[in-house]
Amino acid sequence: MLDYPALQALVAVIEARGFDRAAQRLSISQSAVSQRIRQLEFKLGQPVLLRTSPPRPTELGQRLANHLQQVQQLEQALSTDDDADKRLRVRLAVNADSIDTWLPQALSAASVSRRMDFDFVVEDQDVGLKRMKNGEVMACICASEQPVNGGLAQYLGSIRYRALASPEFKQQYRAQLAGAELDQIPCLIYSADDRLQHRFLQAQGVGDPKYNHLCPSSYGFVNLALAGLGYGMMPELQVQPQLRSGALVDLVAGYEMDVPMYWHYWQTESPALAELRQAVVQVAQQHLRLG
């Protein structure tokens, strides 16, 4: 059995960003906090915390912190009414385009989410499942259909993407558009894991983009397109005002890409997380495309 007081000390140090504040929070001495964590590391034979400023968990430390959250959730399911006000920390891996568009409304619709503190880990839709496999998160929204070991997946609907640019940008690159040299047109890429622009070019029968700007911030991504620095794949849901006003237009008329989204969860799901999932699925199906 794991040493749970040591896990609590670990989580307190991470959340309070220091040993002294963790000690205050737990109402024990700072040396007691250090000792618990050292003993935990001794037993496990590897570090759980990097002694940086502020301290950060190792990969193992993060897995233990997440495990403690899951145990606390299971405890909450046993709890009496006295504890009903207690808030839960819920760590979710989500793709940026979900948290940037439909997900906040879905969480807001779930009454259970009023008792949750969310910790969103933003990963590309094609790699978020790694966080689930590593046991770092309690649920995951991503494009993979296949559940992880010990997990299940539920279909949410699809996000529709379009390749969008400013009208001035499209005008500037009209020669490349006409000449089917789309790989010569600068594009925006969200992160090294973001392959949507590559898939768009592939569908147009050309190779990888020759020029690109890498921008891992979503407002920045849209604003770089508006400012005419590149085109990029954006969810329709995210840029409805810009599509209506004509500030963003399709680079290739009629091109659309639908990416399916799944909610991945553990078979040992707590009642609170089941309630959250059911509410999220319901709202997702109002915003995403089904098919």
To its own copies, the closest distance from the beta carbon of 9 in angstroms equals: 18
State which residue, 52 or 267, has the beta carbon closest to its own copies. Answer: 52
To its own copies, the closest distance from the beta carbon of 12 in angstroms equals: 13
C-alpha 232/C-alpha 93 separation (Å) is 23
Number of residues this chain uses to bind its own copies (CB under 8 A): 40
State which residue, 31 or 108, has the beta carbon closest to its own copies. Answer: 108
Backbone angles phi, psi at 279, to 5 degrees: -65, -40
C-alpha 289/C-alpha 273 separation (Å) is 24
State which residue, 73 or 152, has the beta carbon closest to its own copies. Answer: 73
C-alpha 3/C-alpha 6 separation (Å) is 5
To its own copies, the closest distance from the beta carbon of 247 in angstroms equals: 13
SS (H, E, C) 223-254: HHHHCCCCEEEEEHHHCHHHHHHCCCEECCCC
To its own copies, the closest distance from the beta carbon of 1 in angstroms equals: 30
Which of 2, 4, 50, 54 is the binder for its own copies (CB under 8 A)?
54
Say whether residue 133 binds its own copies (CB under 8 A): no
Query: Which 3 state secondary structure label does DSSP give 165?
Result: strand
Are the CB atoms for 36 and 43 separated by under 8 Å?
no
Binding mask 69-108 for its own copies (x = CB under 8 A): ------------------x--------x--xxx-xxx-xx
Q: Of 272, 287, 2, whose CA–CA distance to 138 is shortest?
A: 272
Please report, as residue ranges, which positions from 177 to 216 form the binding site for its own copies (by CB under 8 A).
Answer: 186, 192, 208, 211-216
Which range touches its own copies (CB under 8 A), out of 58-66, 69-77, 130-138, 227-235? Answer: 227-235
C-alpha 102/C-alpha 281 separation (Å) is 11
- Exposed/middle/buried for residue 63 (C-beta within 10 Å: 0-12, 13-18, 19+): middle
Say whether residue 167 binds its own copies (CB under 8 A): no
Which of 46, 111, 217, 278 is the binder for its own copies (CB under 8 A)?
217
C-alpha 236/C-alpha 256 separation (Å) is 10
To its own copies, the closest distance from the beta carbon of 67 in angstroms equals: 18
Binding mask 248-277 for its own copies (x = CB under 8 A): ------------------------------
Contacts of 166 (CB under 8 A, 6+ apart): 225, 226, 227, 228, 247, 248, 249
Query: Which 3 state secondary structure label does DSSP give 273?
Result: helix
Binding site for its own copies (CB under 8 A): 16-17, 54, 56, 87, 96, 99-101, 103-105, 107-108, 113, 117-120, 122, 186, 192, 208, 211-220, 223-224, 226-229, 238
